Amino acid sequence: MRPSTRDTLIQSAITTLAAQPGASLEDIAQRAGVGRATLHRHFGSRDGLIHALTREAIAATDRAMVDISRDTSATEILRAVIEAIVPLGDQYHFLTLEAATKTDPEITAEIDRQLREMSELVAAVKQEGTIATDVPDAWVVAALDALIYAAWTSAHEGWIARRDAPGLVFRTIIGGLSASDAG
Amino acid sequence: MRPSTRDTLIQSAITTLAAQPGASLEDIAQRAGVGRATLHRHFGSRDGLIHALTREAIAATDRAMVDISRDTSATEILRAVIEAIVPLGDQYHFLTLEAATKTDPEITAEIDRQLREMSELVAAVKQEGTIATDVPDAWVVAALDALIYAAWTSAHEGWIARRDAPGLVFRTIIGGLSASDAG
DNA sequence: CTGAAATGAGACAATGTTGTATCAAATAGA
DNA sequence: TCTATTTGATACAACATTGTCTCATTTCAG
């Protein structure tokens, strides 16, 4: 079935704002093939749209994670998580950058939850010895975020093969922070 | 001596736009402690300011690079380059994101030159066996850019120690892409 | 001190964006 | 078919931003 007007608008907004954060609502509506009035009917104001966008990005990340099997090592789970998130690179990055992610309590709670889940996964990978314990958790998470977005961008602009992107992120993170390189 | 009004404005613009890309000229002038008219006197239009900003960012990167000794291995040169660029994280990232960097021929030529220099350095590091040859150059450069900005951000927000930031980037890149981990 | 240059403050028109409202056409469902 | 809902197009006022201009004041060099 055809995607709803609302979904089309959300997708258009994510794509448009990822490329140009200051894009106007006219730009977003036009890319969605919809009148600007319809956008206002669905989301009220620009803030309303941003809010819906952020919630959608969080939900998309959760949907991508839910299928990952937990019956394996934390290292393999991390690999699967990277594989799941790289294709969402634009949304995932949008999630961390947009201003509303720091003001709205409902949103910040969800983001904190996702960051906490990621930190717990990193801790588990550390316990397996795949990541050195002297590396700050915050750096691992920050590097993951940065590399995932870099991989999405590089693939999107045609510099690297799309199917290679998640592997490069995993290899960069795991090899770079491996316990054997400590000191 | 006191920095010139022009320099103060450029610094204010970089800081302000790095935090909020859509900031108004009023915001920039206010942070610099000058009137908006003065900003227009120095740079004409917003585009003029962006243009000057980008040239300044390129010059700052070059200034940071010029002191690096070449009488050592490419790997050590890369370490020094990272050390020099991380403190410029905001400017360096601004350099790659702003729209004018893709239209103005004078600017794109300079950016291409810097990217070429970085690619050549990466190639030399590969020849030393520190980076695996099967990793795309584009990915190394993209990962470097992403990690440098992540390090600057993490240090700026207090998540990691400022003096640890360059080392973490180097360790992440080199360890992660080392030849011994290939395959 | 004196004059030139730079600045701050403000007025002003032009422009783009936003949010709201209205009305006719299209669409979907009973 | 008939009706309710959704949409496109358009107009409109409110608002912020931008670029230009003027004039009084400050700053600085000679």
What pLDDT, on the 0 to 100 scale, is given for residue A182? Answer: 41
Q: Which residues of B are less than 8 Å from A97 in CB distance?
A: none
* The pair of three-digit structure tokens given for residue A146, joined into one six-digit string: 């940065």
Q: CA of A106, closest CA in chain B: separation in Å?
A: 22
Over 50: is that where the pLDDT of B11 sits? yes
Q: Which nucleotide is nearest to B48 (CA to C1')?
A: D19
Q: Which of B144, B149, B181 to mutate to test the interface with A (most CBs of A within 10 A)?
A: B181
What pLDDT, on the 0 to 100 scale, is given for residue A39? Answer: 97
| Three-state SS at B126 | helix
- From the list A145, A159, A177, the residue facing B172 with the nearest CB is A177
Spell out which residues of A between 1 and 20 contact strand D, using CB within 7 Å: 4-5
Over 50: is that where the pLDDT of B94 sits? yes
- From the list A139, A160, A175, the residue facing B168 with the nearest CB is A139
Length of chain B (residues): 183
What pLDDT, on the 0 to 100 scale, is given for residue A1? Answer: 59
Cα maximum dimension of chain A: 60
Q: Which long-range contacts (CB under 8 A, 24 or more apart) does B90-93 make?
A: B90/B14, B90/B15, B90/B18, B90/B152, B90/B156, B91/B14, B91/B18, B91/B56, B91/B57, B91/B60, B91/B61, B92/B57, B92/B61, B92/B145, B92/B148, B92/B149, B92/B152, B93/B18, B93/B145, B93/B148, B93/B149, B93/B152
More confident of the two residues A161 and B98? A161
- Contact yes or no for B146 and A142 at CB 8 A: no
- From the list A138, A139, A150, the residue facing B143 with the nearest CB is A150
- From the list A136, A153, A173, the residue facing B176 with the nearest CB is A173
Q: Which residue of A has its CA nearest to B165?
A: A139
The one-letter amino acid at A107: I
pTM of the model: 0.88
- Contact yes or no for B173 and A178 at CB 8 A: no
At B143-175, the pLDDT tens digits run 999 999 999 999 998 999 999 999 999 999 998
pLDDT band at B182, cuts 50/70/90? very low
What pLDDT, on the 0 to 100 scale, is given for residue B117? Answer: 94
**Per-residue tens of pLDDT for chain A, all 183 residues:** 567 889 999 999 999 998 888 899 999 999 999 999 999 999 999 999 999 999 999 999 999 999 998 999 999 999 999 999 999 987 877 777 677 777 788 888 998 999 999 999 999 999 999 999 999 999 999 999 999 999 999 999 999 999 999 999 999 999 876 655 443
What pLDDT, on the 0 to 100 scale, is given for residue B19? Answer: 83
Residues B10-33: what's their mean pLDDT? 92
Using a 10 angstrom Cβ sphere, with 0-12 exposed, 13-18 middle and 19 or more buried, the burial of residue A115 is middle
Q: Could you tell me the distance in Å between the CA of residue A179 and the C1' of nucleotide D13?
A: 64
Q: Which residues of A are less than 8 Å from B174 in CB distance?
A: 176
Q: CA of A50, closest CA in chain B: separation in Å?
A: 15
Q: Which residues of A are less than 8 Å from B20 in CB distance?
A: 99
What pLDDT, on the 0 to 100 scale, is given for residue B3? Answer: 77
pLDDT band at B39, cuts 50/70/90? very high
Q: Which residues of B are less than 8 Å from A150 in CB distance?
A: 142-143, 145-146
- Contact yes or no for B171 and A176 at CB 8 A: yes
HEC string of chain A?
A: CCCCHHHHHHHHHHHHHHHCCCCCHHHHHHHHCCCHHHHHHHHCCHHHHHHHHHHHHHHHHHHHHHCCCCCCCHHHHHHHHHHHHHHHHHHHHHHHHCHHHHCCHHHHHHHHHHHHHHHHHHHHHHHCCCCCCCCCHHHHHHHHHHHHHHHHHHHHCCCCCHHHHHHHHHHHHHHHCCHHHCC
Length of chain A (residues): 183
What pLDDT, on the 0 to 100 scale, is given for residue A103? Answer: 78
